[in-house]
Copies of this chain bind each other. A is one copy, B any other.
Amino acid sequence: MTAIDNPYYSHEFHGDYDLVNIGRLDLEDGGVIPECHLAVATFGTPSPDRDNAILVTTWYSGTHQIWRDAYIGPGHALDPETYFIVVVDQIGSGLSTSPHNASGGNAGIAMSRFPHVRIGDDVVAQERLLREHFGIDTLELVVGGSMGAQQTYEWMVRFPDKVRRAAPIAGTARNTPHDFLFTKALNEAITSDPGFKDGEYASNADVVDGLRRHAGIWAVMGFSTEFWKQEAWRALEFESKEAFLEGFLEPYFTAMDPNDLLCMAWKWQRGDVSRHTGGSLEEALGRVTAKTYVMPIDEDMFFPVRDCEAEQKLVPGSELRVVKDMLGHLGLFSVNPDYLPQVDRHLRELLGTEV
């Protein structure tokens, strides 16, 4: 029994995953999740010494699904024949504890009552999960895209001794003000829908207009100007940009839960590793001991290479590995056949580095 029913967040749509109760999670901003459940998908087998683990963190609106379908598998850098790969869906993802599914012991924080969660809370929860549930103390690699990159950076700074290698893709260690405003526009598209009712709607379908406008803003910022100009959506067999919106971006987002998206967005807006060091990004990133490849996407409109490179220069011994993809940020979906071979090449090289 969840707060509201949304069939999108199910095994039918997301395949196999386990729900692990890691117990009470006290949050950085003062709230509490009484029973924090993390949705976890694993691939491969842990070595006897637990020294072959890779953690994958997830992005806004994304889950383990895209990692399973595109990034993980034999022949990829994230190869389950070699590594034990743990993908943890973030709090608010709709699969892990989230506003829409808060029930039972979490009934008190359902829907609009869900507390503010920070990137650091996710990372603390993931560390507990790995240690207590899987017996994993050290990670061969932490990798994630977008908000997953925020979590990756948080791991690098918060638990430097536990991360041997790190690959933040298309994301930053400290969220930029432009990104904050972009996310604000996304949020307002949702909350301005009269059907949102301050978060106490009966179904995500009540907020479909707001979710559709939210998808429309993603269309502007998520892909590059060139993606639209070259009509790259034709490769996905759509007839027009309107058909692509209606057949791809809109169904993708309108299936989701508004409060869940807002929970993730609040985190995204405030991702900032310099919270550990009194606001000094230089000092925070200076703590990193993981071998790090910073991997922005060249056409990304809101995590531009320039911002990622500025941070990369603060990470000792790191390298900048720019991924070329005309899709821009949503190149993360791995639609372009040239995208994943680049990611694989960089990750393979990173995993091959002695640390």
Q: Judge whether B178 and A302 touch: CB under 8 Å.
A: no
Given A185-B217, A216-B184, A229 and B192 touching (CB < 8 A)? no
Q: How many residues of A contact B (CB 8 A)?
A: 35
B residues near A177, Cβ cutoff 8 Å: 228-229, 231, 241
Bound together, the chains give a CA A182 to CA B219 distance in angstroms of 8
B residues near A176, Cβ cutoff 8 Å: 225, 228-229
* In the complex, chain A residues 171-207 whose Cβ is within 8 Å of any chain B Cβ: 176-178, 180-182, 184-185, 188-189, 192-194
B residues near A213, Cβ cutoff 8 Å: 185, 188-189, 192
* In the complex, chain A residues 301-318 whose Cβ is within 8 Å of any chain B Cβ: 301-302, 304, 306-307
Q: Judge whether A192 and B217 touch: CB under 8 Å.
A: no
Q: Judge whether B188 and A225 touch: CB under 8 Å.
A: no
In this complex, what residue of B is CB-closest to A186?
B220
Q: Judge whether B181 and A219 touch: CB under 8 Å.
A: yes
Main SS class of interface, A = helix
Bound together, the chains give a CA A180 to CA B242 distance in angstroms of 11
State the copy count for this chain: 2
Bound together, the chains give a CA A193 to CA B220 distance in angstroms of 20
Taking the closest CB of chain B, its distance from the CB of A300, in whole angstroms, is 10
A132 at the interface (CB under 8 A from B): no
Taking the closest CB of chain B, its distance from the CB of A240, in whole angstroms, is 10
Taking the closest CB of chain B, its distance from the CB of A217, in whole angstroms, is 5
A25 at the interface (CB under 8 A from B): no
Bound together, the chains give a CA A275 to CA B225 distance in angstroms of 22
Taking the closest CB of chain B, its distance from the CB of A349, in whole angstroms, is 29
In this complex, what residue of B is CB-closest to A177?
B228
* In the complex, chain A residues 148-186 whose Cβ is within 8 Å of any chain B Cβ: 176-178, 180-182, 184-185
Given A181-B241, A188-B216: 7 more A-B contacts, CB < 8 Å: A176-B229, A177-B231, A178-B220, A181-B216, A185-B213, A185-B219, A192-B193
